[in-house]
């Protein structure tokens, strides 16, 4: 039985990857941080399954800033595969805590690689969660494995170190270490402060009447958004390749934040019109299809939070970033050719999955 060690197991990707690896018959070990409140809600459902009783799913306390802890974990578990997903992953927050972001996202990767080297676990394969944020102020459209990097945030600069230390340890010490350069991937498990989830959650709450407005930053930023479970399967495929290498995973389509908002409301039966520009831009309710909501949700009376003419979207410069990444669109032909990986879920379907899940959650629980 193969043994995998996942850092960041309590995050969006960690939870999907755990399901995928348990399904494939792996023994899965996850690193969790000590927290003053529960931080395992994305993996709690796995506790009730046979895997735990089967002794195939284990959690260990740890932190990427604690070198001796990482060494101990490696010695104890001797994993065949390591997926390093742990990170301070919020780009805007990285401007507030740049030192901590570098400690975790850059040096955390180094600590792990060094632990592999020191424990002599040379056959262990290592996956590094690299990111399309490396391209930042893009030097080429679309972005491939060969596009030069130009990071635009402390997060991206820290991840740039992570990327290159992987390449260096691969070349210097012959460690099997690969970078997955993943473009944005989303799901109903996405953290609530990332823009997609913020939008689908807010739109649901606005319809039901528990929130007045959705306040966002740069509506014109463009992202290549895919569906997270497919990208987590891609992580596994990257480590099954005969040699360690770096791969872009992306959909090849790009959309603005504004389009994400428009499609979310539309999916929930509300058409918006946009007025003004920049920080004065607003999204106003043009029409509400109550019949459609009645059919889809069978909960017509729930959708009573808005009327035609209401301003439901506003812009606040508080959400602008000191340096922004304006456009991302990836080309994952290499992954398709060498791994057989291709994104399947289209933008509108992704919006639909997330909007439905959040509407359902808000309707049932009110948040
Ligand atoms: P996420 O939901 O923010 O999860 C981050 C995980 O890292 C959480 O489990 C978190 O633990 C853990 N963590 C944070 N700091 C840690 C530390 N010091 N020591 C140990 N664990 C720590 O992120 P995600 O969306 O799943 O992304 C997974 C990885 O892929 C991240 O490295 C991210 O930077 C990268 N990435 C993400 C995307 C994307 O679009 N999602 C794209 C490219 C790359 P808590 O639960 O305790 O906070
Ligand atoms: O922002 C704009 C914002 O925070 C997307 C992380 O997983 O993907 C993620 O990073 C865009 C940006 O994701 C708001 O300015 C507008 O242009 O959802 P986000 P991100 O910065 O792309 C990459 C690949 C990672 O690696 C990261 O770990 O949306 N935007 N208004 C906003 N963004 C947020 N968060 N909140 C707003 O109100």
Nearest ligand to the CA of 182 is 1
For the cut 90, the answer to whether the pLDDT of residue 338 exceeds it is yes
For residue range 248-282, what is the model confidence (pLDDT) as tens digits? 999 999 999 999 999 999 999 999 999 999 999 99
For the cut 70, the answer to whether the pLDDT of residue 40 exceeds it is yes
Note the pLDDT of residue 271: 97
Write out the H or E segment, with its range, that includes residue 320. none
DSSP 230-268: HHHHHHHHHHHSSS--EEEE--S--EEHHHHHHHHHHHT
Give residue for tokens 């379907």: 349
Ligand 2 within 6 A of 254 CB?
Answer: no
Kindly state the average pLDDT of the residues 217-231: 98
Ligand 1 within 6 A of 33 CB?
Answer: yes
For residue range 163-189, what is the model confidence (pLDDT) as tens digits? 999 999 999 999 999 999 999 999 999
pLDDT-derived band at 330, boundaries 50, 70, 90: very high
Per the annotation, the verdict on 18 as an active-site residue is: no
Do 341 and 237 form a contact (C-beta atoms < 8 A)?
yes
Nearest ligand to the CA of 223 is 2
Q: To the nearest whole number, what is the mean pLDDT of the chain?
A: 94
Evaluate if pTM is beyond 0.95: yes
- What's the longest Cα–Cα distance across the chain? 66
pLDDT-derived band at 295, boundaries 50, 70, 90: low
Q: How far is the CA of 187 from the centre of ligand 1 (A)?
A: 14
CA–CA gap between residue 177 and residue 172 (Å, rounded): 11
Do 5 and 79 form a contact (C-beta atoms < 8 A)?
yes
Q: First CA to last CA across the chain, in angstroms?
A: 41
DSSP 25-44: T-EEEEEE---SS---TTTH
Note the pLDDT of residue 218: 98
Please report, for residues 58, 63, 364, the alpha-carbon distance to residue 205 in angstroms, rounded to integers and kept in the order given. 36, 35, 11
Ligand 2: residue of 184, 214, 235, 254 to mutate (most ligand atoms within 8 A of CB) is 184
For residue range 91-137, what is the model confidence (pLDDT) as tens digits? 999 999 999 999 999 999 999 999 999 998 879 999 999 999 999 99
Question: Closest residue (by CA) to atom 21 of ligand 2?
Answer: 91
Note the pLDDT of residue 55: 80
Ligand 2 within 6 A of 250 CB?
Answer: no
């Amino acid at each position: 039985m193969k043994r995998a060690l996942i850092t960041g197991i309590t995050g969006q990707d960690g939870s999907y990857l755990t399901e995928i690896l348990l399904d494939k018959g792996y023994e899965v070990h996850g690193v969790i941080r000590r927290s003053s409140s529960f931080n395992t809600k994305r993996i709690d459902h796995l506790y009730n399954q046979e895997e735990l009783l089967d002794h195939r799913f284990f959690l260990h306390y740890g932190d990427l800033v604690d070198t001796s802890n990482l060494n101990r974990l490696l010695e104890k578990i001797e994993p065949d595969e390591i997926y390093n997903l742990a990170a301070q992953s919020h780009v805007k927050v990285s401007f507030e805590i740049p030192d901590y972001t570098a400690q975790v996202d850059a040096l955390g990767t180094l600590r792990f690689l060094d632990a592999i080297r020191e424990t002599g676990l040379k056959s262990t394969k290592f996956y590094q969660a690299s990111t399309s944020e490396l391209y930042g102020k893009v030097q080429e459209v679309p972005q491939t494995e060969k596009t030069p990097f130009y990071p635009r945030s402390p997060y991206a600069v820290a991840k740039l170190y992570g990327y290159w230390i992987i390449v260096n340890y691969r070349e210097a010490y012959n460690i099997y270490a690969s970078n997955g350069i993943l473009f944005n991937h989303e799901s109903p498990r996405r953290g609530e402060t990332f823009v997609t989830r913020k939008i689908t959650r807010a739109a649901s709450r606005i319809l039901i009447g528990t929130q007045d407005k959705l306040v966002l930053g740069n509506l014109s930023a463009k992202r290549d958004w895919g569906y997270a479970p497919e990208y987590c399967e891609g992580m596994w495929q990257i480590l099954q390749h005969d040699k360690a290498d770096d791969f872009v995973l992306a959909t090849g389509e790009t959309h603005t934040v504004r389009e994400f908002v428009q499609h979310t409301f539309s999916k929930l039966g509300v058409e918006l019109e946009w007025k003004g520009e920049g920080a004065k831009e607003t999204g106003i309710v043009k029409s509400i299809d109550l019949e459609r909501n009645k059919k889809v949700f069978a909960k017509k009376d729930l959708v009573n939070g808005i009327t035609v003419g209401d301003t439901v979207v506003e812009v606040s410069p508080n959400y602008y970033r000191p340096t922004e990444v304006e456009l991302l669109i990836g080309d994952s032909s290499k992954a398709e050719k060498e791994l057989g990986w291709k994104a399947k879920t289209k933008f509108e379907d992704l919006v639909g999955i997330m909007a439905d899940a959040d509407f359902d959650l808000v309707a049932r629980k009110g948040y």
